[in-house]
Structure 1
Amino acid sequence: MDSVLDYLLTAPTEVAALTSVRAAWQRHQRTAERFDVPVDAALACGFGADRLGYAFLSGYQAALRALLPELAPGELVSLCATEAGGGHPAAIRTAVTERDGEWFVDGTKTFATLGGPADRLVVIGSVGAGADGRNRLRAVLVDTDQSAVVRTELPETPFIPEIPHAAVTFTDARARALPGDGYSGYLKPFRTIEDIHVLAAALGWLIRMGRSGAVARPLLEQLLATAAALRDLGRMPASSPGAHIALGGVLARFDELPQSTAPIWERVDPADRARWERDLALLRVAGKVRGLRLEAAWHAVRDSAG
């Protein structure tokens, strides 16, 4: 196979139903091992998902591998940032401390995607205020097989209910510190990386659905062109203003999906159409934050050009 784009056009469109997160994760691993780049794995594994929720799982896990290539292939991972005050750096109160060369975590994360079944957590915590008074963040890895980590399952969300979320409390939990600043090195770039890889996985799933419904070639060509754009974005630094601006253009295409993909839903199983209508909100999450990032990227470009 020359590329993941060829894979999306030639892989079998019939896939067995998935019945759990673990089953979806096992299928993801079998497909992902064929691709060296996380965004390609997101596209291919999304194609193999039987619904948008499990495509999200693939995109989310691929995004974490793009952020942290050293993660073991078989580990289901969750990034934990959100707290009672939100996900803004100033709102993070979970404490990360070093004692005698070891790192420990204390605090509660209120909304961790896949936090319940995760084997390992990427936790964003505070190491205290800097000289400028700002909250200084650190990213650490925490294994979940320790009694110091307590996870509480949260109610299902209205869309992609197959993907569980949990509140996670740490009480002197042992951790391994990651190098660099927790905000600029991990939390900030992950927001962009996650967008790219989750959109790629959703697109892979849509291409399979389009092929299953034998839609006209122009629609598949449009979806594949968007996949090619996401592949390039997945290879660019998340700090690039150009990448953010191009991603804004891709997101605008996704806003048109309810209309442009209508021929797909006329031809597929009604259960697939119903799930699509229920889960479409996933693609519109954090629209305000995305808008702010796009405006900041344009400001950076104008400042550089000026």
Structure 2
Amino acid sequence: MDSVLDFLLTEPLAATPLDDVAAAWTRHRVAANRFGKPVDVAIAGGFGADRLGYAFLSGYQEAVRTLIPDLPADELVALCATEAGGGHPSAIHTTLTEELGSYRLNGTKTFATLGMLAQRLVVLASVGTDDTGRNRLRATTVDVREAGVAVTKLPTTPFAPEIPHAMVTLTDVAAVVLPGDGYLDYLKPFRTIEDVHVLAAALGWLVRVARASDWPQTVLQKLLTVVAAVRGLDIDAPSSPGVHIALGGTFEYVARLLAELDSLWASVDSVTKQRWERDRPLLAIAGRVRDQRLATAWRSVLPDTDQAV
């Protein structure tokens, strides 16, 4: 099996432009056949992408597969949590009910990344409240071909417009229930898992840009250093305070590195440069939530100090 670090430095740059998500997914699957760990697949998939949006595709898909390893390898998957009130557990009103051993979903997910193209959905739903009034969640999977699934395309976002989003309405839809708690085992860890894999894919894409644009070897060295840091995060423990603290440090390093690279974008082809300027905000998504998780992580390990992050 290849070393992903050697791969980034020696793999020929794919010259064929990617015309759509289907083409990007096909190229991603080629990368997936060369590496075993989802984070390495994300890195290699990002390297193969010709824009940051398609690198995001690689990171997002490998994040979902880290969360649920048994998902079919060849299917695009969308995680569906967000509803009209947001993505907080208390805002999830889609219901999961059981009758004679059959599970059914009813509700509407207002923002599902890749929902228009996914063949399978991972749906977070409520099974009622516990004794304290907290919403009890379960995670389920749904084949989009099931009766009662309606997918409505949403307007494109200002950045990464190639990645479609959708509203998903579920009306008495048959579902497969996954083991464990929907919040603790799926929704909560996914936020960290997604951060790791999307960052990994973005770094893979930046190495591609650096090589295509003949950026200095010192830049490649710095990019590989942060790739190695991302690979070293203990993604098997996504709720660990140490993982959140290390991830926070990694994002800080990446922010400083991107600032250092600003002057080098003049050497990049105009199309790639314009896309970068448009899509760069993608890397700042959920930054406030990450900061909150980082502050909580510091309080959990140093409860008697007020940590500034």
1:153-211 deviation digits (Å, cap 9, x = unpaired): 00000000000000000000000000010000000000000000000000000001001
Tell me the distance in 1 between the aligned counterparts of 2:264 and 2:231.
23
Q: Could you say which residue in structure 2 is the equivalent of 1:171?
A: 171
Q: Match of 2:148?
A: 148
Equivalence for 1:65:
65
Matched residues in 1 for 2:235 and 2:11: separation?
24
CA displacement 1:249-297 (0-9 Å, x = unmatched):
1111232344222244121111100000000000111111000000111
TM-score normalised over the length of structure 2: 0.96
Q: 1:235 to 1:258 in 2, by over 3 A?
A: closer
Identity over aligned residues, as a percent?
Answer: 57
Provide the aligned length of Structure 1 versus Structure 2.
305
1:260 paired residue number: 260
Partner of 1:214: 214
Distance in 2, matches of 1:69 and 1:126, equals 23
Cα-to-partner distance string for 1:65-100 (whole Å, 9 max, x where unaligned): 111110111010000000000000001100011111
- Native 8 Å contact 1:236 1:243 kept in 2: no
Q: Which runs of 5+ in 2 are unaligned?
A: none
Matches of 2:91 and 2:255, distance apart in 1: 30
**1:40 — aligned with what?**
40
**Aligned residue identity for 1:38:** P
CA distance in 2 between partners of 1:67 and 1:285 (Å):
20
TM-superposition CA deviations, 1:94-142 (whole Å, max 9, x none): 0011111111100000000000100000000100011110000000001
CA distance in 1, matches of 2:33, 2:2: 16
Quote the RMSD (CA, aligned, Å).
1.4
Contact 1:51 1:272 survives alignment (8 Å): yes
Tell me the residue number matched to 1:52: 52
Provide the rounded CA distance (Å) in 2 between the counterparts of 1:31 and 1:14: 12
Aligned to 1:15: 15
List aligned pairs for 1:155-194, cutoff 5 A. Answer: 155-194=155-194
- Name the stretch that deviates more: 24-33 or 77-86: 24-33
Distance 1:262 1:146 in 2: 48
1:104-143 to structure 2, matched below 5 A, reads 104-143=104-143
Structure 2 SS opposite 1:195? helix
Give the letter for the 1:106 counterpart: N
**TM superposition shift of 1:146:** 1.9
**Which residue of 1 is the match for residue 278 of structure 2?**
278
Is 2:234 the partner of 1:227?
no
Please identify runs of 4+ aligned residues in structure 1 that moved more than 4 A.
Answer: none
- Consecutive unaligned residues of structure 1, counting only runs of 5 or more, are none
* Structure 1: distance between partners of 2:228 and 2:86: 34
Q: Secondary structure at the match of 1:62?
A: helix
CA distance in 1, matches of 2:246, 2:230: 9
Q: Secondary structure at the match of 1:274?
A: helix
AA paired with 1:110?
A: T
The 2-side partners of 1:231 and 1:272 are apart by 26
CA distance in 1, matches of 2:174, 2:290: 34
Mapped contact 1:126–1:135 kept (Cα < 8 A): yes
Q: How much does 1:147 deviate?
A: 2.8
Residues 1:201 and 2:201 are matched in the alignment: yes
Q: Aligned partners of 2:286, 2:141: CA distance in 1, in Å?
A: 25
Question: For 1:16-61, what per-residue CA distance to the aligned partner results, in whole angstroms no more than 9, with x for missing partners?
Answer: 1101111111111111111110000000010000000000000000
Quick one: distance in 1 between partners of 2:296 and 2:123? 26
CA distance in 2, matches of 1:26, 1:304: 51
